Structure 1
Amino acid sequence: MVQSLNSKIDLTVKATAFTAFTEYGQIMIGNKALEFYHQRDARKYIQIPWQEVEYVSASVLFGGKWIPRYTIYTKQNGSFTFASKNPKDVLRAIRVYIGGDKMVKSLGFFGVLKRAFTRKPSQK
């Protein structure tokens, strides 16, 4: 059994982790880390300490009414993408521990296209 990094849990939500395969389980946000535990296999888990988080990017659609997924970028281990039942509650709980300056909104479809066409040829 895996030992939790947290001593106090603020929020527990059903979630989906998008790794090589789609994994279903629960996200637990606590005072020391964000933790994802698989619902059936105890060996499949993700633990991200708050000091390891570089920033969090959220896909925001329809003017903030719908957040389909969010990605946590770490300093050493790459990125982890999640979707959950209440993404606004999850992002608010994360903001308490990492601060609002590390929370960003990802580019939409047209933002990606605009950036692709407005870059100088030397930057591609």
Structure 2
Amino acid sequence: MVYYNMVQSINTKSEYHVDATWFRGMSVYGQVLIGDVGFEFYSSKNVNDFVQIPWTEVKLVIADVYFKGRYIPRFKIQTRNSGDFIFATRHPKDTLRAIRTHVSDEKMRKSRTFWQIIKNFLKR
């Protein structure tokens, strides 16, 4: 019989959790947990596959917004030292609202649209 050590959560209080997908080469399915100390993702299949991001480490949260906010397929969390993490959740608006309670409004951004990227490319 094999026993796995469970990961210790960095949060003392869970405020929101939802099913999610972490995009890193291959998609990893699991749960997102938003708490008082940070953002956490835990894989459903592998207990050693997890992400824990304290709120002090978050540099930017960038959301892909389509149809004037009616559709948000994914969002990216940029950290100071560990790079970028891309997630999609079952209820992205509620997830971003829960993140917004811990991250200032200056750190919450919408991603550039396709036409903005083309326009910036042609200006060079």
Partners of 2:112 and 2:70 lie apart in 1 by 16
Q: Which structure has more helix as a fraction of its residues?
A: 1
In structure 1, list runs of 5 or more residues that go unmatched: 120-124
Partners of 1:60 and 1:20 lie apart in 2 by 22
The answer to whether 1:102 aligns with 2:107 is yes
Q: In percent, how many aligned pairs have the same letter?
A: 45
Secondary structure of the equivalent of 1:68?
coil
Secondary structure of the equivalent of 2:20?
strand
Q: What RMSD, in angstroms, separates the aligned Cα atoms of the two structures?
A: 0.6
1:122 matched residue in structure 2:
none
In structure 2, list runs of 5 or more residues that go unmatched: 1-5
| TM-score relative to the length of structure 1 | 0.94
1:77 to 76, 82, 90: 82
2:40 matched residue in structure 1:
35
Runs of 4+ in 1 over 2 A off after TM superposition: none
2:21 matched residue in structure 1:
16
The answer to whether 1:2 aligns with 2:4 is no
Partners of 1:114 and 1:82 lie apart in 2 by 27
Partners of 1:39 and 1:111 lie apart in 2 by 37
Q: What is the number of residues matched between the two proteins?
A: 119
Partners of 2:83 and 2:120 lie apart in 1 by 23
| TM-score relative to the length of structure 2 | 0.94
1:90 to 75, 89, 95: 95
